Amino acid sequence: KAGVTQTPRYLIKTRGQQVTLSCSPISGHRSVSWYQQTPGQGLQFLFEYFSETQRNKGNFPGRFSGRQFSNSRSEMNVSTLELGDSALYLCASKTQGTNTEAFFGQGTRLTVV
Amino acid sequence: TQLLEQSPQFLSIQEGENLTVYCNSSSVFSSLQWYRQEPGEGPVLLVTVVTGGEVKKLKRLTFQFGDARKDSSLHITAAQPGDTGLYLCAALPPGGYNKLIFGAGTRLAVHP
């Protein structure tokens, strides 16, 4: 069974640009969550999609958005990039139910210069 | 304020030593997970504990869920350099509806 695939692995963008990151979950998983990880803040929840609908949202500005397609693949978009957006962006494919478990991709390392 | 408080934040030990890291909360959880993350990679699920007082072993790693399901510990026996990494606990907050939250993590360095 293939794991969670995130593309690209590394990305360098300049301030003001926008970026789109992609995540393909484990086959059969319908829930995809996105997290931002920085040394200072740790893993911060961005949002979760389930069956093409955003089900949960973290405390991030509207510049951060996402979507999910009918095949469960998800994308997140960050517009008007700021230096502080430099981080490791992680996608998690999740099981459902009371004991939900997250299976992470390798992440996309975004550097904003 | 973190819903899940992990301690210590950093731990630097020699190969062969034992260690325990903690994950504490004032909330009750239906389950709790432990993950390990290596630099530049995503976290990898190690274990899920569900029942209060539950103990699970994974080779040299022993995980315990508190009786009241508010806290958990991870004990590593005879640590090896390959155990180096960031250890994260995670849980669903009460009424969290699948919004898995993470502690800040314990960064472990095991030196040969």
Low-confidence stretches of chain B (pLDDT beneath 70): 1-2, 94-98
Contact B105 A42 (CB under 8 A): yes
User: Token pair 């992990």 is at which residue?
Assistant: B6
Mode of pairing for the β-strands spanning B5-7 and A102-104: unpaired
Contacts of A21 in chain B (CB under 8 A): none
Q: Does A5 touch chain B (CB under 8 A)?
A: no
Q: How many CB pairs under 8 A join A and B?
A: 66
Peptide bond into B8 cis (omega under 30): yes
Instruction: Count Cβ atoms below 10 Å from residue A74 Cβ, excluding itself.
Output: 25
Q: Considering only CA atoms, which of A103, A82, A80 is closest in space to residue A93?
A: A103
The pLDDT, as a whole number, for residue B56 is: 97
| Sequence-ordered strand ranges (E) for A1-113 | 5-7, 10-13, 19-24, 31-38, 42-50, 53-57, 64-68, 74-78, 87-94, 102-104, 108-112
The pLDDT, as a whole number, for residue B40 is: 83
Is residue A72 very low, low, confident or very high in pLDDT (cuts 50, 70, 90)? Answer: very high
pLDDT digits (tens, 9 = 90+) for A24-49: 999 988 899 999 999 878 899 999 99
Contact B102 A88 (CB under 8 A): no
User: In angstroms, what separates the C-alpha of A47 from chain B's closest C-alpha?
Assistant: 8
Q: What percent of chain A has pLDDT over 90?
A: 77
Q: Does A40 touch chain B (CB under 8 A)?
A: no
The pLDDT, as a whole number, for residue A37 is: 94
The pLDDT, as a whole number, for residue B95 is: 67
Assess contact for B69 and B29: CB atoms under 8 A.
yes
The pLDDT, as a whole number, for residue B92 is: 79
3-class SS at B42? coil
Mode of pairing for the β-strands spanning B85-91 and B101-102: antiparallel
* A62-84 average pLDDT score: 97
Contact A104 B43 (CB under 8 A): yes
Beta bridge partners of A110: A11, A87
The pLDDT, as a whole number, for residue A102 is: 86
Q: Does A50 touch chain B (CB under 8 A)?
A: yes
